[in-house]
Structure 1
Amino acid sequence: MINSKYDWQFHEVNDTTQVDQLAKDAGIDPFIATMLVQRGVKTADEAETFMNPTVSSFHDPFLMHDMKKGVDRISQAVESGEHITVYGDYDADGITSTTIMYETLSDLGADVDYYIPNRFSEGYGPNVAAFQSIIDKGTSLIVTVDNGVAGNDAIAAANQLKCDVVVTDHHSLPEVLPDAFAIIHPRVKDADGNAYPFGDLCGAGVAFKVAQALMDDVPSDLLDIAAIGTVADIVSLRDENRAIVKFGVQAIKNSQRPGLIALIKEAGIDLSKFDEQDIGFGIAPRLNSLGRIKDATVGVELLSTFDEDRASELAKFANQQNDLRKSLVDQFYSEAVASVESSGDIKNRSTLVVVGENWHQGVLGIVASRLVDKYQRPTLVMTGADGSDEVKGSGRSVDSFDLFQAIDPIRSQTVGFGGHHSAVGLTIKQDKIGVLKDQLEAAAKQQHLDLSVKPQLEISAVLPVSKATTDLCDQLKALAPFGQDNPKPIFKLKYDRLSDIKTLGKTKDHLKFSLVAGQNRLTAIAFGKGEFASELEQGASQLEVVGEVGENTWNNHTTVQLMVDDMREALPPVVDRRTRQLHQQMFANSGTYVFFHEKVRDQLKHYLSAESQAVMYDQNELKTLDQGKVYIVDCPDSTADLVKVLGVIHPQTTILYLYKKQLVSKIGMPDRHSYAKLFRFIKEHANINIATQLKQISEHLHLSARTIIFMVQVFLELDFITIQDRIINLNPNYAARDLKSAPSYHLREEQLLTEKKLLVSDTHEFVQFVKDSLGV
């Protein structure tokens, strides 16, 4: 069975008149109009701004908090010849932010240098020792980029040393802002409670706005660098960021920067087809690798140098660091997977803590991300070092689990700890690893972490293979640049059959196949899905496929292909999953769960997700079940009750568990001789205590305890006996009555017939019965 990794969410536009009106007013294809409406674009003016940003898309930089104050201080420092240090960060956003600010101040004639802290020895953000060293060397103004808003201690130290600090940052605001000379930040509000019109700038974006304010014009020569930082930091590609990246991609195509040209060459990128994905998958990883492996300072030199020989040398170095980063990630990931699989934690734990020995600290976050992707649970990857009693590492989480809040209760037992909902950094003593593991598991229970919940994948439309053309790809480019808040459209492909199924890669990890519809054929690539090749070749699966449509150029020949995001085996209208055991995983999928017994419903309904509902078989809600999945959970007492349910619902798929813990058919219906034996026994023995004497009676009469309990209930319903405080006596005024007239007797007959029809029948016979009842 091929199960989807994601919970597919189809983004349907119900108001087609809105789409038609937008297509007409904007003069665009209705298909693109649909994509725009899905993105919240409703008018022709909004569509024009979205697809074709202009210089007017850039907001007034002086609307940002402390912009004028900060720019005035920087200008004063330039004019008076003060030494300025740009204090950056070691990731791609930090490198590009530093480059933007350094080049801007250099162009203004400033006495300026830059400093990027070391990831391993100094960590992120301002630190007192670094600021002390910078100031000792003659700096009287520090301008932070992509950091600083949480650097209270270091900034306080700078103030004591008579050095002003202008913070330019975009990260989450602390409860107490630092006492900086100016804090230029798009989310800090002014005295009137107003913030900058667009709060999702990255560090490079904020630095770009400072440059705009200093230059009194949009610094077009910095758009290439700003675009790299914006894409690399995975910020929202709406509003001002769209303009930065749209213009920046074009600027990179025409870039005269020797370092950038050399880096693009080393990455093997075709500059004629350059787009934002080349930044995300080609340029950004190479810049990030500098800080992850060793020292990010050379990244600024790489982007800003005009020495072609030096640029080529640094680009080669960045490429080598990236290759080293990839090999280290692959090595540690393989070791981590082996550790997880051998530990048994997947079966026993909801969270993972993997501890290696002498692993490179700079790649642990990437390894953690890959483990989260594989196991779909919060993961910490840590490493010890020879001669140290500490382990350091990084954690990554799933959407439904706040990793920072999970660890925060044991903060006092850590050496160092920081982060947010989805990612943390952590240092602890070796002997605290067990405490950490236990705390994570306790937090998983407190936060009600449900590992069965899949991350959502939004699907734009169903696309016939015949429509997957180069024309479609050209139309989709109007929606670019793609990224956060503007994802590349994902389509569910409509096709007739699969062909040309094969595996790719040295270890055959990947899958390649063709989707065929009539004379049309679309090649699909599914990374990490090679294990399903044999199943597909045998035709054992009706495969549903979703992915991104794009162009692939090979030997100067361009074709359209599908990059598969997910796939799943299509469920038939009726699925036979009759069972004697229920577990939480069986209630993981969203849908409607129908119950015949309130006791069973009450025991299980807490397993259901917020998107699901529990319905009793006789409720009016059944009539509204005309789409999605319906699960028939427990077995009814009467086949007629099931037929009644199936007669009023019209779901896409009906899954039948028909759970029944103990089959009545294994006990059967007592014969008349058994009833007679028990009746004589009661007649001959007064004051029988059914609670204390049941075992003795069972042995004496050679009848099972459950059979005796059932017959006692029948006798009671027919007034043959009386029961008071569990004491049974013959009713002296009983009258002869037919056993079959007792409700329990009748129910037992119904249950026996129902079990024979619903639980004992083979799958083919059972599924056909359900289909007939559903009318499908």
Structure 2
Amino acid sequence: MLKPKYNWQLPANQPDEAMINELSQACDLSTLAIQVLYNRGYDTVDKIQNFLKLDPQVIHDPFLLHDMQKAVDRIQTAIVKNEKIVVYGDYDADGVTSTTIMFETLTELGATVDYFVPDRFQDGYGPNLNEYQRLIESGVTLLVTVDNGIAGNEAVNYAVDHGMDVIITDHHEMPEILPEATAIVHPRYPGSQYPFSDLSGVGVAFKVACALLDEVPEEFLDLVAIGTIGDLVSLIDENRFLVVHGLQVLSEGQRVGLAALLKLSGLKNQAITEQDIGFTIAPKLNAVGRIGNAGEAVELLTTFDEEKAGLIAKHIDSVNNQRKQLVADIYTKAIQQAELPENQSRQTLVITGEGWHQGVLGIVASRLVEATGKPTLVLSSDPEVSDLKGSGRSVPTLNLFEALNKNRTLYENFGGHHMAVGLTIKKANLTALKQLLEAAAQAAALDASQPETLNIDSRISVDQITLAGIKDLAKLGPFGTDNPIPVFAIAADSVLNAKQIGSDQAHLKFQLTGGQQTVDAIAFQQGPLLPYVQALPDHVQLAGTLELNTWRNQTKPQIMVKDLFIDAVPIVDQRTTHLNMRMFERQTTYVFFHKKTYKQVQPHLSHDMQIAIVDNDDQQNMSLSGNLTLVDCPDSLEKFSQWLTNQNPDAVTVYFYQRNNAYLDGMPTREQSSKVFKFFVNHPVIDLNKQLQDVSKHLHMQQSILVFLIQVFFELGFVKIESGRVSLVSDPKPQKLSAAPAYQLRQQQIKTQEKLLYSKSATLTAWMQACLTDENKGVAD
């Protein structure tokens, strides 16, 4: 069978149909949406209604956050005394939105305030001691960090010791020893009474704004939505409320800079979704800090000048395109390292390069995790310094921050959380870092060879997919961490109209049929699966999300395929009489049943191809898996069927190339055999190299039949062959032609070729699948 990419995890217990219908009527929601809510724990009318209604009461009191009162008091004192305040931000989307909120709040309150966004390359991540010293020297008496600071002990402690108060507002993982700051506002501070621990950096900054302004400043909700979604924090509790309303504010286009960015992104005058933020807006804001200085993003978010906003937005878009190219270039080199033998045997990856752009290493790490399933660090070096800098990304089952935090002495700089870290380390400590990460993976019992889990919300049929149901599913959003977009296992009768789409034919499009309707489906990056889907259209199982697709004013349901598998082994019939090099460009194991065929094409095969040669009895017991391509036709149907039963392929493609066609030539007749024998009686010596064609014409016989009979006569001792010359043996021992091995082999070849080369495609497929599933073990009918 063609195996799924993921390990599908379906709900342990499917809800009672009567219960679903009852909740559906009570809540005025489709059964599709109710099934999802029920399986996520919203199993009563009250729970469902509380989840959906987004009650403002879910907004928690900001003063429940640790040190909030202390922070507010100190800020208010600074405003009254006209002290010089600086907001110290961060360079990602969460950081620049946090900076904007804090800066605009303090400006509105009349503070003497400026902001500083560190340069990723000059200042590194988090508090930078040199910058803190510069700020102190310039007369700053109050520094307010946003989205950073909790791990900045050295710089913060220095500042406090030198007369500058520091208020830390942050949400990242807390080290064992905390900075001696004037106030620390953090949702996970030990002993904190705050009821929701998963605020983003912008969420914490927003709570400070709420406390300072004594209200919920709705004009900041667009920024909260961007930072919260961009930082992949939980989208439940008050984060869900803030993001829902933030999307509404964002869609209204009130902020000049964001309006310019939306227009440039083709999103102007549209209802902005969490996908628009996650895949378009946040990446563009992130790109500025990755390639240049993120202060430009804050400038975009705070400006009231439309012309200036347009220019900045265009530059940000250009920088984002540059970022994409950098990622592509570095990833190409990084994946090559990941595939080296020493890395193949590891559960984690530490990939290094020289001169790689540090701003995109986190994205490269994410792509490597997706490709390999392994927690990954990607680090870059400079030939003139002894440090490596980079980023890491993890998998859900390994807390990367905790894993690496066990030995803080390894790092020059380090910070992050469960799924992502940033670090600077001396080259001399690289081996220790690899050992630390691998040990953590072993302690967590990670196994990168095991597929990642795909949580399925419900199993449904094609006929259950409706426009109304998909609209109701949208009410469960916004989707993200802790509130993922619903994924369904979809049962279909068959697949129709499968085809590859896209400029490079990389994607797969088809229709799923049910008893009453067909629904379009798209599987991105699955174009190569087309022949397998076409081979077994009635055996395709898939999991995916549901969306509405509008084309030419017609709106229809559409399935976005997350994963698919085929519950039988696809046999792709590509039988051929000629081999060409395009046939050897696939990711597969090429199986040869004759060494002669392999040697014929070997000069044209790349060195890294997977090859298996099955040309003798010793190799009959080999067991292969993955995708197999059977290049040439075996000689024995019985041995081939037995060989098939030992295989465990995902899919099989058959070429069954055969140079000499025994089936079409057939067995020689008694008359032909007698004619050849009499010819040698009358012609004592024949030079095959010179006379074969003439003899064939003289006897009115195909050369292939003549050569075959000479081989049979030779094996039976009727003739001898020396240097290409055939001569009759005097007084040979009488034997039946069928006693010759060549004769017996030809009989097997005819039977085999009849089955494998000339049967109908459906017949061949059914027979091979029966062998593979052991239904016909050893039977060669």
Q: Scaled by the length of structure 1, what TM-score is found?
A: 0.70
Deviation per residue, 1:10-55 (Å, 9 max, x gap): 1244466664554454343443333222222244343233212133
Please state whether the residue corresponding to 2:379 is helix, strand or coil: strand
Confirm whether residue 366 of structure 1 aligns to residue 363 of structure 2: yes
Q: Which letter maps to 1:76? A: T
Q: How far did 1:390 drift?
A: 4.0
Q: How far did 1:118 drift?
A: 1.4
- Separation in structure 1 between the aligned mates of residue 179 and residue 471 of structure 2, nearest angstrom: 48
Q: How far did 1:306 drift?
A: 0.7
Confirm whether residue 259 of structure 1 aligns to residue 279 of structure 2: no
Aligned counterpart, 1:83: 84
Q: Which letter maps to 1:8? A: W
Aligned counterpart, 1:543: 540
Aligned counterpart, 2:712: none
Aligned counterpart, 2:232: 234
Which one is further off, 71-80 or 410-419? Answer: 410-419
Please state whether the residue corresponding to 2:270 is helix, strand or coil: helix
Q: How far did 1:478 drift?
A: 1.3
Q: Work out whether residues 411 and 423 of structure 2, in 8 Å CA contact, stay in contact via their aligned partners in 1.
A: yes
Please state whether the residue corresponding to 2:301 is helix, strand or coil: helix
Q: Work out whether residues 146 and 204 of structure 1, in 8 Å CA contact, stay in contact via their aligned partners in 2.
A: yes
Equivalent of 1:533 in 524, 530, 555: 530
Q: How far did 1:289 drift?
A: 0.8
Confirm whether residue 569 of structure 1 aligns to residue 559 of structure 2: no
Question: Do the aligned partners of residues 270 and 48 (structure 1) sit closer, same or farther apart at CA in structure 2, a change above 3 Å counting?
Answer: farther
Structure 1 unaligned segments of length 5 or more: list them.
573-655, 660-760, 771-776
Q: How far did 1:566 drift?
A: 1.1
Aligned counterpart, 2:218: 220
Q: Work out whether residues 541 and 570 of structure 1, in 8 Å CA contact, stay in contact via their aligned partners in 2.
A: no
Q: How far did 1:323 drift?
A: 1.0
Q: Work out whether residues 157 and 180 of structure 2, in 8 Å CA contact, stay in contact via their aligned partners in 1.
A: yes
Q: How far did 1:432 drift?
A: 5.5
Deviation per residue, 1:241-290 (Å, 9 max, x gap): 11101111111111221110111122222542321111111111011111
Q: Work out whether residues 492 and 541 of structure 2, in 8 Å CA contact, stay in contact via their aligned partners in 1.
A: no
Q: Work out whether residues 494 and 538 of structure 2, in 8 Å CA contact, stay in contact via their aligned partners in 1.
A: no
Q: How far did 1:399 drift?
A: 3.3
Aligned counterpart, 2:461: 464
Pairwise CA RMSD: 2.9
Q: Work out whether residues 382 and 392 of structure 1, in 8 Å CA contact, stay in contact via their aligned partners in 2.
A: yes
Question: Do the aligned partners of residues 521 and 393 (structure 1) sit closer, same or farther apart at CA in structure 2, a change above 3 Å counting?
Answer: same
- Separation in structure 2 between the aligned mates of residue 378 and residue 498 of structure 1, nearest angstrom: 36
Q: How far did 1:450 drift?
A: 2.0
Q: How far did 1:129 drift?
A: 1.5
Q: Which letter maps to 1:2? A: L
Please state whether the residue corresponding to 2:180 is helix, strand or coil: coil
Please state whether the residue corresponding to 2:148 is helix, strand or coil: coil
Q: Which letter maps to 1:4? A: P
- Separation in structure 1 between the aligned mates of residue 500 and residue 274 of structure 2, nearest angstrom: 29
Q: Work out whether residues 169 and 185 of structure 1, in 8 Å CA contact, stay in contact via their aligned partners in 2.
A: yes
Question: Do the aligned partners of residues 503 and 417 (structure 1) sit closer, same or farther apart at CA in structure 2, a change above 3 Å counting?
Answer: same
Count of residues in Structure 1 that have an aligned counterpart in Structure 2: 582
Aligned counterpart, 1:512: 509
Aligned counterpart, 2:701: none
Confirm whether residue 143 of structure 1 aligns to residue 144 of structure 2: yes
Aligned counterpart, 2:168: 167
Aligned counterpart, 2:382: 385
Which one is further off, 161-170 or 32-41? Answer: 32-41
Q: Scaled by the length of structure 2, what TM-score is found?
A: 0.69
Aligned counterpart, 2:329: 331
- Separation in structure 2 between the aligned mates of residue 270 and residue 496 of structure 1, nearest angstrom: 41
Q: How far did 1:442 drift?
A: 5.3
- Separation in structure 2 between the aligned mates of residue 523 and residue 407 of structure 1, nearest angstrom: 45
Question: Do the aligned partners of residues 380 and 254 (structure 1) sit closer, same or farther apart at CA in structure 2, a change above 3 Å counting?
Answer: same
Q: How far did 1:517 drift?
A: 2.5
- Separation in structure 2 between the aligned mates of residue 196 and residue 406 of structure 1, nearest angstrom: 27
- Separation in structure 2 between the aligned mates of residue 276 and residue 478 of structure 1, nearest angstrom: 13
Aligned counterpart, 1:300: 298
Which one is further off, 291-300 or 7-16? Answer: 7-16
Question: Do the aligned partners of residues 176 and 565 (structure 1) sit closer, same or farther apart at CA in structure 2, a change above 3 Å counting?
Answer: same
Q: Work out whether residues 550 and 563 of structure 1, in 8 Å CA contact, stay in contact via their aligned partners in 2.
A: yes
Q: Work out whether residues 41 and 47 of structure 1, in 8 Å CA contact, stay in contact via their aligned partners in 2.
A: yes
Q: Work out whether residues 514 and 522 of structure 1, in 8 Å CA contact, stay in contact via their aligned partners in 2.
A: yes
Question: Do the aligned partners of residues 435 and 87 (structure 1) sit closer, same or farther apart at CA in structure 2, a change above 3 Å counting?
Answer: closer
Task: Give the percent of matched residue pairs that are identical in Structure 1 and Structure 2.
Answer: 46
Q: Work out whether residues 269 and 282 of structure 1, in 8 Å CA contact, stay in contact via their aligned partners in 2.
A: no
- Separation in structure 2 between the aligned mates of residue 519 and residue 32 of structure 1, nearest angstrom: 21
Aligned counterpart, 2:716: none
Please state whether the residue corresponding to 1:195 is helix, strand or coil: coil
Confirm whether residue 61 of structure 1 aligns to residue 62 of structure 2: yes
After superposition, residues 81-480 of structure 1 pair within 5 angstroms as 81-189=82-190, 193-269=191-267, 271-341=269-339, 343-345=340-342, 347-403=344-400, 412=409, 415-430=412-427, 433=430, 436-437=433-434, 440-441=437-438, 444-480=441-477
Aligned counterpart, 1:74: 75
- Separation in structure 2 between the aligned mates of residue 187 and residue 64 of structure 1, nearest angstrom: 9
Q: Which letter maps to 2:45? A: A
Q: How far did 1:79 drift?
A: 2.2
Structure 2 unaligned segments of length 5 or more: list them.
570-644, 649-767
Q: Which letter maps to 2:108? A: D
- Separation in structure 2 between the aligned mates of residue 162 and residue 374 of structure 1, nearest angstrom: 50
Aligned counterpart, 1:750: none
Please state whether the residue corresponding to 1:114 is helix, strand or coil: strand
Q: Work out whether residues 172 and 417 of structure 2, in 8 Å CA contact, stay in contact via their aligned partners in 1.
A: no
Q: Which letter maps to 1:241? A: N
Please state whether the residue corresponding to 2:234 is helix, strand or coil: coil
Q: How far did 1:466 drift?
A: 2.7
Question: Do the aligned partners of residues 291 and 27 (structure 1) sit closer, same or farther apart at CA in structure 2, a change above 3 Å counting?
Answer: same
Deviation per residue, 1:105-135 (Å, 9 max, x gap): 1111111110111112222222222112122
Q: Which letter maps to 1:338? A: Q
Q: Which letter maps to 1:308? A: E
Confirm whether residue 491 of structure 1 aligns to residue 488 of structure 2: yes
Q: Which letter maps to 2:355? A: N
Question: Do the aligned partners of residues 435 and 223 (structure 1) sit closer, same or farther apart at CA in structure 2, a change above 3 Å counting?
Answer: closer
Q: Work out whether residues 32 and 469 of structure 2, in 8 Å CA contact, stay in contact via their aligned partners in 1.
A: no
Q: Which letter maps to 2:277? A: I
Aligned counterpart, 2:582: none
- Separation in structure 2 between the aligned mates of residue 256 and residue 418 of structure 1, nearest angstrom: 35
Q: Work out whether residues 345 and 352 of structure 1, in 8 Å CA contact, stay in contact via their aligned partners in 2.
A: no
Please state whether the residue corresponding to 1:139 is helix, strand or coil: coil
Please state whether the residue corresponding to 2:194 is helix, strand or coil: coil
Q: Work out whether residues 61 and 212 of structure 1, in 8 Å CA contact, stay in contact via their aligned partners in 2.
A: yes
- Separation in structure 2 between the aligned mates of residue 442 and residue 45 of structure 1, nearest angstrom: 46
Q: Work out whether residues 173 and 401 of structure 2, in 8 Å CA contact, stay in contact via their aligned partners in 1.
A: no
Q: Work out whether residues 351 and 444 of structure 1, in 8 Å CA contact, stay in contact via their aligned partners in 2.
A: yes
Please state whether the residue corresponding to 1:106 is helix, strand or coil: helix
Q: Work out whether residues 354 and 380 of structure 1, in 8 Å CA contact, stay in contact via their aligned partners in 2.
A: yes
- Separation in structure 2 between the aligned mates of residue 21 and residue 354 of structure 1, nearest angstrom: 54
- Separation in structure 2 between the aligned mates of residue 47 and residue 323 of structure 1, nearest angstrom: 42
- Separation in structure 1 between the aligned mates of residue 55 and residue 396 of structure 2, nearest angstrom: 35
Q: How far did 1:347 drift?
A: 4.4
- Separation in structure 2 between the aligned mates of residue 52 and residue 103 of structure 1, nearest angstrom: 30
Which one is further off, 158-167 or 385-394? Answer: 385-394
- Separation in structure 2 between the aligned mates of residue 413 and residue 165 of structure 1, nearest angstrom: 27
- Separation in structure 2 between the aligned mates of residue 762 and residue 554 of structure 1, nearest angstrom: 41
Q: How far did 1:368 drift?
A: 1.4
- Separation in structure 1 between the aligned mates of residue 28 and residue 300 of structure 2, nearest angstrom: 44
